[in-house]
Structure 1
Amino acid sequence: MRLFGYARVSTSQQSLDIQVKALKEAGVKANRIFTDKVSGSSTNRKGLDLLRMKVEEGDVILVKKLDRLGRDTADMIQLIKEFDAQGVAVRFIDDGICTDGEMGQMVVTILSAVAQAERRRIMERTSEGRQEAKLKGVRFGRRRTIDRNSVLALHREGTGATDIARQLSIARSTVYKILEDENSLSTCRANP
Protein backbone atom coordinates (compact mmCIF):
# COMPACT_ATOMS: atom_id res chain seq x y z
CA MET A 1 0.00 0.00 0.00
CA ARG A 2 1.34 3.39 -1.03
CA LEU A 3 0.10 6.67 0.42
CA PHE A 4 -0.64 9.57 -1.89
CA GLY A 5 -1.88 13.03 -0.98
CA TYR A 6 -4.05 15.60 -2.68
CA ALA A 7 -4.39 19.27 -1.70
CA ARG A 8 -6.35 22.02 -3.40
CA VAL A 9 -7.12 25.68 -2.84
CA SER A 10 -9.58 27.70 -4.89
CA THR A 11 -7.34 30.58 -5.96
CA SER A 12 -3.68 31.18 -6.65
CA GLN A 13 -3.57 33.69 -3.76
CA GLN A 14 -4.39 31.00 -1.18
CA SER A 15 -1.74 28.79 0.41
CA LEU A 16 -1.48 25.01 0.27
CA ASP A 17 0.95 24.92 3.22
CA ILE A 18 -1.48 23.74 5.93
CA GLN A 19 -2.87 20.93 3.78
CA VAL A 20 0.56 19.78 2.59
CA LYS A 21 1.90 19.81 6.17
CA ALA A 22 -1.03 17.66 7.35
CA LEU A 23 -0.44 15.20 4.51
CA LYS A 24 3.26 14.90 5.36
CA GLU A 25 2.45 14.42 9.06
CA ALA A 26 0.09 11.60 8.04
CA GLY A 27 3.00 9.84 6.33
CA VAL A 28 2.73 10.92 2.70
CA LYS A 29 6.09 11.45 0.99
CA ALA A 30 6.57 14.89 -0.57
CA ASN A 31 6.94 13.44 -4.08
CA ARG A 32 3.53 11.75 -3.75
CA ILE A 33 1.60 14.92 -2.89
CA PHE A 34 -0.36 16.39 -5.79
CA THR A 35 -1.76 19.91 -5.66
CA ASP A 36 -4.02 22.28 -7.53
CA LYS A 37 -4.65 26.00 -7.16
CA VAL A 38 -7.98 26.13 -8.93
CA SER A 39 -11.68 26.03 -8.12
CA GLY A 40 -12.97 22.53 -7.43
CA SER A 41 -15.63 23.09 -10.06
CA SER A 42 -12.95 23.48 -12.72
CA THR A 43 -12.36 20.49 -14.98
CA ASN A 44 -8.75 21.61 -15.54
CA ARG A 45 -7.08 20.19 -12.41
CA LYS A 46 -3.63 19.05 -13.49
CA GLY A 47 -2.61 17.81 -10.04
CA LEU A 48 -5.70 15.62 -9.75
CA ASP A 49 -5.26 14.33 -13.30
CA LEU A 50 -1.66 13.36 -12.56
CA LEU A 51 -2.74 11.67 -9.31
CA ARG A 52 -5.33 9.65 -11.24
CA MET A 53 -2.58 8.34 -13.51
CA LYS A 54 -0.18 7.47 -10.67
CA VAL A 55 -2.41 5.50 -8.27
CA GLU A 56 -2.81 1.74 -8.51
CA GLU A 57 -4.89 -0.92 -6.81
CA GLY A 58 -4.26 -1.02 -3.07
CA ASP A 59 -3.09 2.60 -2.84
CA VAL A 60 -4.65 5.13 -0.46
CA ILE A 61 -5.20 8.82 -1.22
CA LEU A 62 -5.22 11.18 1.76
CA VAL A 63 -7.08 14.51 1.55
CA LYS A 64 -7.22 16.96 4.47
CA LYS A 65 -10.92 17.84 4.10
CA LEU A 66 -13.88 16.53 2.16
CA ASP A 67 -14.44 19.72 0.14
CA ARG A 68 -10.83 19.78 -1.10
CA LEU A 69 -11.40 16.80 -3.42
CA GLY A 70 -14.50 18.09 -5.20
CA ARG A 71 -16.86 21.05 -5.13
CA ASP A 72 -20.21 19.35 -5.47
CA THR A 73 -21.80 16.01 -4.68
CA ALA A 74 -21.79 14.73 -8.26
CA ASP A 75 -18.10 15.50 -8.76
CA MET A 76 -17.15 14.00 -5.39
CA ILE A 77 -19.11 10.80 -5.97
CA GLN A 78 -17.74 10.44 -9.50
CA LEU A 79 -14.15 10.75 -8.26
CA ILE A 80 -14.70 8.32 -5.38
CA LYS A 81 -16.32 5.79 -7.73
CA GLU A 82 -13.46 6.17 -10.17
CA PHE A 83 -10.88 5.54 -7.44
CA ASP A 84 -12.96 2.69 -6.00
CA ALA A 85 -13.08 1.01 -9.43
CA GLN A 86 -9.27 1.09 -9.42
CA GLY A 87 -9.19 -0.41 -5.93
CA VAL A 88 -7.95 2.87 -4.42
CA ALA A 89 -9.33 4.15 -1.10
CA VAL A 90 -9.72 7.83 -0.23
CA ARG A 91 -9.30 8.99 3.38
CA PHE A 92 -10.26 12.44 4.64
CA ILE A 93 -7.97 13.34 7.54
CA ASP A 94 -10.02 16.04 9.31
CA ASP A 95 -13.35 14.29 8.81
CA GLY A 96 -12.13 10.85 9.89
CA ILE A 97 -13.78 9.23 6.88
CA CYS A 98 -12.49 6.53 4.58
CA THR A 99 -14.19 5.26 1.44
CA ASP A 100 -13.28 1.63 2.18
CA GLY A 101 -16.45 -0.41 2.06
CA GLU A 102 -20.09 0.49 1.56
CA MET A 103 -20.51 2.31 4.88
CA GLY A 104 -17.62 4.65 4.10
CA GLN A 105 -19.02 5.53 0.70
CA MET A 106 -22.47 6.17 2.14
CA VAL A 107 -21.07 8.57 4.74
CA VAL A 108 -19.06 10.43 2.09
CA THR A 109 -22.16 10.83 -0.09
CA ILE A 110 -24.17 12.24 2.81
CA LEU A 111 -21.40 14.60 3.96
CA SER A 112 -20.70 15.92 0.50
CA ALA A 113 -24.43 16.66 0.04
CA VAL A 114 -24.42 18.57 3.33
CA ALA A 115 -21.30 20.51 2.27
CA GLN A 116 -22.93 21.41 -1.05
CA ALA A 117 -26.08 22.64 0.73
CA GLU A 118 -23.93 24.79 3.03
CA ARG A 119 -22.11 26.35 0.05
CA ARG A 120 -25.48 27.20 -1.51
CA ARG A 121 -26.61 28.85 1.73
CA ILE A 122 -23.39 30.88 1.85
CA MET A 123 -23.88 32.00 -1.75
CA GLU A 124 -27.51 32.97 -1.02
CA ARG A 125 -26.48 34.97 2.06
CA THR A 126 -23.73 36.69 0.08
CA SER A 127 -26.15 37.56 -2.69
CA GLU A 128 -28.71 38.90 -0.21
CA GLY A 129 -26.00 40.97 1.46
CA ARG A 130 -24.93 42.47 -1.86
CA GLN A 131 -28.54 43.32 -2.75
CA GLU A 132 -29.07 44.96 0.64
CA ALA A 133 -25.85 46.94 0.28
CA LYS A 134 -26.89 48.12 -3.21
CA LEU A 135 -30.21 49.34 -1.81
CA LYS A 136 -28.21 51.36 0.75
CA GLY A 137 -26.20 52.93 -2.04
CA VAL A 138 -23.01 50.88 -1.80
CA ARG A 139 -21.31 50.67 -5.17
CA PHE A 140 -19.39 47.56 -6.15
CA GLY A 141 -16.55 47.24 -8.58
CA ARG A 142 -13.44 49.21 -9.27
CA ARG A 143 -13.29 52.81 -8.15
CA ARG A 144 -13.30 55.35 -10.94
CA THR A 145 -9.88 56.82 -11.58
CA ILE A 146 -10.95 59.20 -14.31
CA ASP A 147 -11.85 62.76 -13.43
CA ARG A 148 -15.21 63.08 -15.18
CA ASN A 149 -15.33 66.82 -14.46
CA SER A 150 -12.08 67.35 -16.39
CA VAL A 151 -13.52 65.51 -19.40
CA LEU A 152 -16.70 67.60 -19.28
CA ALA A 153 -14.80 70.88 -18.78
CA LEU A 154 -12.51 70.20 -21.75
CA HIS A 155 -15.53 69.26 -23.88
CA ARG A 156 -17.33 72.50 -22.93
CA GLU A 157 -14.20 74.42 -23.99
CA GLY A 158 -14.59 72.86 -27.44
CA THR A 159 -11.81 70.26 -27.18
CA GLY A 160 -12.50 67.21 -29.33
CA ALA A 161 -12.76 63.66 -27.94
CA THR A 162 -9.42 62.56 -29.42
CA ASP A 163 -7.56 65.51 -27.84
CA ILE A 164 -9.32 64.99 -24.50
CA ALA A 165 -8.28 61.33 -24.56
CA ARG A 166 -4.66 62.28 -25.29
CA GLN A 167 -4.49 65.01 -22.63
CA LEU A 168 -5.98 62.79 -19.89
CA SER A 169 -4.30 59.55 -21.09
CA ILE A 170 -7.58 57.69 -21.39
CA ALA A 171 -9.30 55.82 -24.19
CA ARG A 172 -11.37 57.83 -26.65
CA SER A 173 -14.26 55.40 -26.06
CA THR A 174 -14.15 56.39 -22.36
CA VAL A 175 -14.51 60.05 -23.32
CA TYR A 176 -17.53 59.20 -25.48
CA LYS A 177 -19.04 57.13 -22.66
CA ILE A 178 -18.71 60.02 -20.17
CA LEU A 179 -20.22 62.46 -22.65
CA GLU A 180 -23.06 60.04 -23.42
CA ASP A 181 -23.76 59.55 -19.69
CA GLU A 182 -23.83 63.33 -19.19
CA ASN A 183 -26.23 63.80 -22.11
CA SER A 184 -28.54 61.13 -20.66
CA LEU A 185 -28.50 62.86 -17.27
CA SER A 186 -29.22 66.24 -18.87
CA THR A 187 -32.17 64.77 -20.77
CA CYS A 188 -33.55 63.23 -17.56
CA ARG A 189 -33.23 66.55 -15.72
CA ALA A 190 -34.96 68.43 -18.53
CA ASN A 191 -37.86 65.93 -18.73
CA PRO A 192 -38.79 65.03 -15.14
Structure 2
Amino acid sequence: MSTTDQHLGLQEEALRAAGCEMVRAEKRSGTTTEGRTELLTLMDFARRGDTIVVTRIDRLARSIADLAALVRELEAKGVALRATEQPVDTSTAAGRCFLQMLGVFAEFETNLRRERQLEGIAKAKAEGVYKGRPRSIDAAAVRAMAAEGLGGSEIARRLGIGRASVYRLLGDTKVAPVQPVSPA
Protein backbone atom coordinates (compact mmCIF):
# COMPACT_ATOMS: atom_id res chain seq x y z
CA MET A 1 0.00 0.00 0.00
CA SER A 2 1.44 3.34 -0.95
CA THR A 3 0.57 6.98 -1.28
CA THR A 4 0.11 8.51 -4.70
CA ASP A 5 3.60 10.02 -4.90
CA GLN A 6 5.32 6.65 -4.44
CA HIS A 7 6.02 3.99 -7.04
CA LEU A 8 4.83 0.46 -6.40
CA GLY A 9 7.29 -1.26 -8.74
CA LEU A 10 10.02 -1.91 -6.18
CA GLN A 11 7.53 -3.18 -3.61
CA GLU A 12 5.90 -5.49 -6.16
CA GLU A 13 9.32 -6.87 -7.19
CA ALA A 14 10.21 -7.54 -3.53
CA LEU A 15 6.93 -9.35 -2.95
CA ARG A 16 7.31 -11.52 -6.06
CA ALA A 17 10.91 -12.32 -5.02
CA ALA A 18 9.51 -13.42 -1.63
CA GLY A 19 7.33 -15.96 -3.45
CA CYS A 20 4.02 -14.11 -3.51
CA GLU A 21 1.72 -15.55 -6.15
CA MET A 22 -0.82 -12.75 -5.98
CA VAL A 23 0.03 -9.08 -5.40
CA ARG A 24 -2.63 -6.53 -4.45
CA ALA A 25 -1.72 -2.84 -4.55
CA GLU A 26 -3.39 0.49 -3.99
CA LYS A 27 -2.09 4.03 -3.78
CA ARG A 28 -3.81 5.14 -0.60
CA SER A 29 -2.52 6.44 2.70
CA GLY A 30 -1.85 3.86 5.37
CA THR A 31 -2.96 6.31 8.04
CA THR A 32 -6.46 4.84 7.97
CA THR A 33 -8.15 1.70 6.76
CA GLU A 34 -11.15 3.72 5.51
CA GLY A 35 -11.61 3.67 1.73
CA ARG A 36 -8.88 1.07 1.17
CA THR A 37 -10.79 -1.31 -1.09
CA GLU A 38 -7.77 -3.48 -1.96
CA LEU A 39 -7.01 -4.00 1.72
CA LEU A 40 -10.62 -5.00 2.35
CA THR A 41 -10.51 -7.40 -0.62
CA LEU A 42 -7.28 -8.90 0.72
CA MET A 43 -8.75 -9.34 4.19
CA ASP A 44 -11.89 -10.97 2.77
CA PHE A 45 -9.91 -13.27 0.46
CA ALA A 46 -7.40 -14.54 3.06
CA ARG A 47 -8.07 -18.08 4.29
CA ARG A 48 -6.73 -20.28 7.12
CA GLY A 49 -3.13 -21.21 6.45
CA ASP A 50 -2.47 -18.23 4.15
CA THR A 51 0.30 -15.72 4.80
CA ILE A 52 -0.12 -12.08 3.89
CA VAL A 53 3.22 -10.56 2.96
CA VAL A 54 4.02 -6.84 2.94
CA THR A 55 7.34 -5.15 2.33
CA ARG A 56 7.08 -3.11 5.53
CA ILE A 57 4.44 -2.92 8.24
CA ASP A 58 3.82 0.80 7.60
CA ARG A 59 2.55 -0.18 4.14
CA LEU A 60 -0.31 -1.93 5.93
CA ALA A 61 -1.14 0.46 8.80
CA ARG A 62 0.37 3.47 10.53
CA SER A 63 -1.73 3.55 13.66
CA ILE A 64 -1.24 0.95 16.34
CA ALA A 65 -5.01 0.64 16.70
CA ASP A 66 -5.52 -0.15 12.99
CA LEU A 67 -2.54 -2.52 12.97
CA ALA A 68 -3.78 -4.35 16.06
CA ALA A 69 -7.28 -4.68 14.59
CA LEU A 70 -5.91 -6.06 11.31
CA VAL A 71 -3.63 -8.52 13.10
CA ARG A 72 -6.49 -9.67 15.38
CA GLU A 73 -8.71 -10.24 12.34
CA LEU A 74 -5.95 -12.19 10.58
CA GLU A 75 -5.21 -14.29 13.67
CA ALA A 76 -8.92 -15.11 14.06
CA LYS A 77 -8.90 -16.40 10.47
CA GLY A 78 -5.69 -18.38 11.02
CA VAL A 79 -3.75 -16.13 8.62
CA ALA A 80 -0.12 -15.12 9.28
CA LEU A 81 1.43 -11.75 8.47
CA ARG A 82 5.03 -11.41 7.30
CA ALA A 83 7.17 -8.43 6.25
CA THR A 84 10.04 -8.81 3.79
CA GLU A 85 12.13 -5.88 5.08
CA GLN A 86 11.52 -6.39 8.81
CA PRO A 87 11.75 -9.43 11.09
CA VAL A 88 7.98 -9.68 11.37
CA ASP A 89 6.23 -13.02 11.12
CA THR A 90 3.12 -13.42 13.25
CA SER A 91 3.48 -17.19 13.13
CA THR A 92 6.31 -16.81 15.70
CA ALA A 93 6.37 -15.23 19.18
CA ALA A 94 9.42 -13.10 18.33
CA GLY A 95 7.78 -11.92 15.12
CA ARG A 96 4.60 -10.89 16.96
CA CYS A 97 6.66 -8.98 19.56
CA PHE A 98 8.64 -7.15 16.89
CA LEU A 99 5.43 -6.33 15.03
CA GLN A 100 4.00 -4.62 18.10
CA MET A 101 7.18 -2.58 18.59
CA LEU A 102 7.17 -1.51 14.94
CA GLY A 103 3.52 -0.49 15.19
CA VAL A 104 4.30 1.79 18.12
CA PHE A 105 7.18 3.43 16.27
CA ALA A 106 5.15 3.82 13.06
CA GLU A 107 2.41 5.63 14.98
CA PHE A 108 5.02 7.79 16.74
CA GLU A 109 6.55 8.74 13.38
CA THR A 110 3.13 9.62 11.94
CA ASN A 111 2.37 11.83 14.95
CA LEU A 112 5.74 13.59 14.65
CA ARG A 113 5.12 14.23 10.95
CA ARG A 114 1.68 15.67 11.74
CA GLU A 115 3.16 17.95 14.44
CA ARG A 116 5.85 19.22 12.03
CA GLN A 117 3.19 19.88 9.40
CA LEU A 118 1.06 21.87 11.85
CA GLU A 119 4.13 23.83 12.99
CA GLY A 120 4.94 24.65 9.36
CA ILE A 121 1.40 25.82 8.69
CA ALA A 122 1.41 28.00 11.83
CA LYS A 123 4.73 29.55 10.79
CA ALA A 124 3.48 30.18 7.24
CA LYS A 125 0.31 31.79 8.60
CA ALA A 126 2.36 34.03 10.92
CA GLU A 127 4.49 35.11 7.94
CA GLY A 128 1.38 35.74 5.84
CA VAL A 129 2.36 33.07 3.32
CA TYR A 130 -0.35 30.50 4.11
CA LYS A 131 -3.90 31.65 3.93
CA GLY A 132 -5.72 28.32 3.67
CA ARG A 133 -8.10 27.43 0.91
CA PRO A 134 -10.23 30.12 -0.72
CA ARG A 135 -13.65 30.71 0.81
CA SER A 136 -16.38 28.76 -0.92
CA ILE A 137 -19.30 30.55 0.72
CA ASP A 138 -20.56 33.95 -0.36
CA ALA A 139 -20.47 35.69 3.03
CA ALA A 140 -22.18 38.81 1.71
CA ALA A 141 -25.12 36.75 0.46
CA VAL A 142 -25.44 35.00 3.82
CA ARG A 143 -25.40 38.33 5.69
CA ALA A 144 -27.90 39.90 3.28
CA MET A 145 -30.33 37.00 3.64
CA ALA A 146 -29.96 37.09 7.42
CA ALA A 147 -30.66 40.84 7.37
CA GLU A 148 -33.83 40.11 5.38
CA GLY A 149 -34.96 37.91 8.25
CA LEU A 150 -34.30 34.49 6.74
CA GLY A 151 -33.31 31.75 9.17
CA GLY A 152 -30.18 29.63 8.95
CA SER A 153 -31.96 26.63 7.45
CA GLU A 154 -33.52 28.68 4.66
CA ILE A 155 -30.24 30.49 3.90
CA ALA A 156 -28.44 27.14 3.75
CA ARG A 157 -31.10 25.68 1.44
CA ARG A 158 -31.04 28.63 -0.95
CA LEU A 159 -27.24 28.73 -1.17
CA GLY A 160 -26.77 24.95 -1.19
CA ILE A 161 -24.52 24.95 1.87
CA GLY A 162 -24.70 23.44 5.34
CA ARG A 163 -26.58 25.13 8.16
CA ALA A 164 -23.51 24.88 10.38
CA SER A 165 -21.59 26.94 7.82
CA VAL A 166 -24.28 29.62 7.91
CA TYR A 167 -24.32 29.78 11.71
CA ARG A 168 -20.52 29.73 11.89
CA LEU A 169 -20.30 32.64 9.47
CA LEU A 170 -23.01 34.62 11.23
CA GLY A 171 -21.38 33.93 14.60
CA ASP A 172 -17.95 35.00 13.31
CA THR A 173 -19.26 38.26 11.94
CA LYS A 174 -21.44 38.96 14.96
CA VAL A 175 -24.43 39.37 12.64
CA ALA A 176 -27.41 37.59 14.07
CA PRO A 177 -30.43 36.76 11.97
CA VAL A 178 -33.22 39.29 12.32
CA GLN A 179 -36.12 37.85 14.27
CA PRO A 180 -39.52 38.94 12.97
CA VAL A 181 -41.53 40.80 15.57
CA SER A 182 -45.18 39.86 15.79
CA PRO A 183 -47.66 42.72 16.13
CA ALA A 184 -48.97 43.22 19.67
- Looking at structure 1, the residues matched to 60 and 33 of structure 2 have their Cα atoms a distance apart, in angstroms, of 12
Is the CA contact (8 Å cut-off) linking 2:54 and 2:82 kept in structure 1? yes
Q: What amino acid is aligned across from residue 121 of structure 1 in structure 2?
A: L
Is the CA contact (8 Å cut-off) linking 2:3 and 2:27 kept in structure 1? yes
**Offset of residue 125 of structure 1:** 1.2
Please provide the CA RMSD for this pair: 1.9
Unpaired stretches in structure 2, ≥5 consecutive residues: 135-184
Poorly superposed stretches of 4+, deviation over 6 Å = none
Q: Which residue of 1 aligns with 2:23?
A: 33
Q: Which residue of 2 aligns with 1:184?
A: none
Q: Which residue of 1 aligns with 2:83?
A: 92
Q: How does 1:170-185 map to 2 (within 5 A)?
A: none
Secondary structure of the residue aligned to 2:25 is strand
**Offset of residue 65 of structure 1:** 0.8
Is the CA contact (8 Å cut-off) linking 2:87 and 2:95 kept in structure 1? no
- Looking at structure 1, the residues matched to 133 and 66 of structure 2 have their Cα atoms a distance apart, in angstroms, of 34
- Looking at structure 2, the residues matched to 74 and 23 of structure 1 have their Cα atoms a distance apart, in angstroms, of 25
Structure holding more helix per residue: 1
Q: Which residue of 2 aligns with 1:46?
A: 37
Matched, 1:102 2:79: no
- 1:87-134 superposed Cα distances (whole Å, 9 cap, x missing partner): 211111111211113332222112101110111111111211221122
Q: Which residue of 2 aligns with 1:24?
A: 16
Structure holding more strand per residue: 1
**Offset of residue 44 of structure 1:** 2.1
- 1:133-183 superposed Cα distances (whole Å, 9 cap, x missing partner): 22222135579xxxxxxxxxxxxxxxxxxxxxxxxxxxxxxxxxxxxxxxx
Identity %: 35
Q: What amino acid is aligned across from residue 39 of structure 1 in structure 2?
A: S
Matched, 1:62 2:53: yes
Q: Which residue of 1 aligns with 2:3?
A: 10
Q: Which residue of 2 aligns with 1:129?
A: 120
Secondary structure of the residue aligned to 1:131 is helix
- Looking at structure 2, the residues matched to 57 and 141 of structure 1 have their Cα atoms a distance apart, in angstroms, of 49
Q: Which residue of 2 aligns with 1:73?
A: 64
Unpaired stretches in structure 1, ≥5 consecutive residues: 1-7, 144-192
- Looking at structure 2, the residues matched to 98 and 82 of structure 1 have their Cα atoms a distance apart, in angstroms, of 15
Normalising by the residue count of structure 1, what TM-score does the alignment of the two structures yield? 0.63
The counterpart of 2:107, out of the listed 103, 106, 116, is 116
